[in-house]
Amino acid sequence: MKNNKFITARFHVNLCFFCKLMGIYFFIKIKGVIHMQNTRYFVKLVLVMLIVSLAAFGVTAAGEAAAAFHIGIMTGTVSQSEDELRGAEQAVKKFGDVTNGGMIKHVTYPDNFMSEMETTIGQIVGFADDPLMKVIIVNQAIPGTTEGFRRVKEKRPDIICLAGEPQEDPNVIGAVADLAVNSDTLAMGYIMPAAAKKLGAKTYVHISFPRHMSYELLSRRRKIMEEACKDLGIKFVFETAPDPTSDVGVAGAQQYVLEKTQAWLKKYGKNTAFFSTNDAQVEPLLKQITAHGGYYVQTDSPLQGYAGALGIDLSKEKGNWKAIVGKIEKTIVSKGGKGRLATWSYPSGYCIAAGLGEYAKRVVEKKAKMKKEADVMKAFEVFSPGLAWNSSAYIDGATGAKMKNFLLLYQDTYVFGKGSLGMNKIKVPEKYYRIK
């Protein structure tokens, strides 16, 4: 961004120069020095001098750096999941905002996106109005993303459409997205119960609601979990909680989980592991587990619920993931939660949003190839230094065919007060991927 500041400064210098020239012109015109027939030649001379000067420093008429192309990123707000937004902010920090001459245009979709789907679609399509727009990234790719991408492709087939953490069925979003990237939901169906057993859990409680269970990946994961628990000798239980996008809202859904967790612990015992498909419901779960017992085997981000549940301020550690994990760990151990709570060291939502931004830039600049798994992972590693990602193509449950434009990835489980579990080294039995 130093270059941008320099260029903007040069623009101001040139503007001042232009104003001075015009001031001289009006002064000498008033004095009668310039005859009317020579006026247009003077004006032309001034304009040419200004344009040449601006072009030399690669600026627009608004004083912005002349970015070769733009990348649009749409995320949610912080109300349900903060990670995706922070990932987009990191992309803006690295590549600059379009309003200041940079490369990234970041917008957010409505919190109540299920009832405001047309707004979401309109925002996605709106990216295509920018003639410099080359890539559109939506993370999380909520319902409506497919239709938004479809309309973009009709309008601007040259724009690359990337979906992060899609909430529409793989074959649906995969039909229009150039690439979709998601946490390996299917592998987690086995890995999380296996991790729960390692920690000492006897029961595994899966919490969700009908909307999430209508999504293919989430539904398949639940079925895999149930089968895995059976094979591992753990009792599987499904519990329903309110949908945060329903009339009760986020606050109502959180309050329900907060009140029910103690009842669930009393019913199933303290050797119970919990998992919720909704990020907003994780915080009350963590709060009650820390205070009353039980396990939460994995969040896909150290920011997912921990700050609120533990009452700690992570603002000073913002962006420093090792420092964030360390502060959370110290607090958990002090509260007696050692060995019972776990996370991914780097947030998946953050890495996907920022990583896809990096990858998109490289693709447009022809420094990476579309759908090449190794190139995607290299881009992700920029924002997760020292972390080894496991990745694989999505396999359709009905046909067994691999989708080259749908990538699944995961990392190791880190248990606070215990360390890494080595779950990234476990080979998930093939039979679980065939569960429909």
State how far the Cα of 179 lies from the Cα of 124, in Å rounded to an integer.
16
- Token digits for 408? 């699944």
Q: What is the pLDDT of residues 257-277, one digit of tens each?
A: 999 999 999 999 999 999 999
Q: State the pairing for strand pair 160-164/133-139.
A: parallel
The predicted structure's pLDDT at residue 264: 97
In a domain, 206, yes or no: yes
> Residue 34 pLDDT > 80, yes or no?
no
Mean pLDDT computed over 392-418: 89
In a domain, 168, yes or no: no
In a domain, 269, yes or no: yes
State how far the Cα of 91 lies from the Cα of 85, in Å rounded to an integer.
10
Residue (of 9, 21, 27) closest to 48 by Cα position: 21
Mean pLDDT computed over 43-58: 44
State how far the Cα of 67 lies from the Cα of 70, in Å rounded to an integer.
7
Range of the domain at 256: 185-346+415-433
In a domain, 152, yes or no: no
- CB distance 223 to 256 below 8 Å: no
Whole-model pTM over 0.85: no
Q: Give every strand in the sheet of 341-343, ordered side by side.
A: 235-240, 203-208, 272-276, 295-299, 341-343, 414-415, 419-420
The residues, any chain, with a CB within 8 Å of residue 34's CB and separated by 6 or more, are 25, 28, 42
Mean pLDDT computed over 296-310: 91
State how far the Cα of 69 lies from the Cα of 50, in Å rounded to an integer.
24
Of 37, 56, 75, the one marking the end of a domain is 56
Q: Both 193 and 342 in a single domain?
A: yes
The predicted structure's pLDDT at residue 23: 53
Residue (of 86, 120, 92, 119) closest to 104 by Cα position: 92
Q: Which long-range contacts (CB under 8 A, 24 or more apart) does 16-25 make?
A: 17/50, 17/53, 18/46, 18/50, 21/46, 21/49, 22/46
Mean pLDDT computed over 113-125: 93
In the 8-state DSSP scheme, what is residue 98? G
In a domain, 237, yes or no: yes
- Token digits for 237? 């239980």
> Residue 41 pLDDT > 70, yes or no?
no
In a domain, 166, yes or no: no
Number of folded domains that form the chain = 2
In a domain, 393, yes or no: no
In a domain, 174, yes or no: no
Element (H, E) at 394: strand 390-395
The predicted structure's pLDDT at residue 2: 38
State how far the Cα of 362 lies from the Cα of 367, in Å rounded to an integer.
5
CB atoms within 10 A of CB 254: 24
> Residue 6 pLDDT > 70, yes or no?
no
Q: What CATH number did the domain enclosing 275 receive?
A: 3.40.50.11390
Radius of gyration of the chain (CA): 26
Of 12, 34, 56, the one marking the end of a domain is 56
Full DSSP string of 145-202? HHHHHHHHHHH-TTSEEEEES--S-HHHHTTT-SEEEEE-HHHHHHHHHHHHHHHT-S
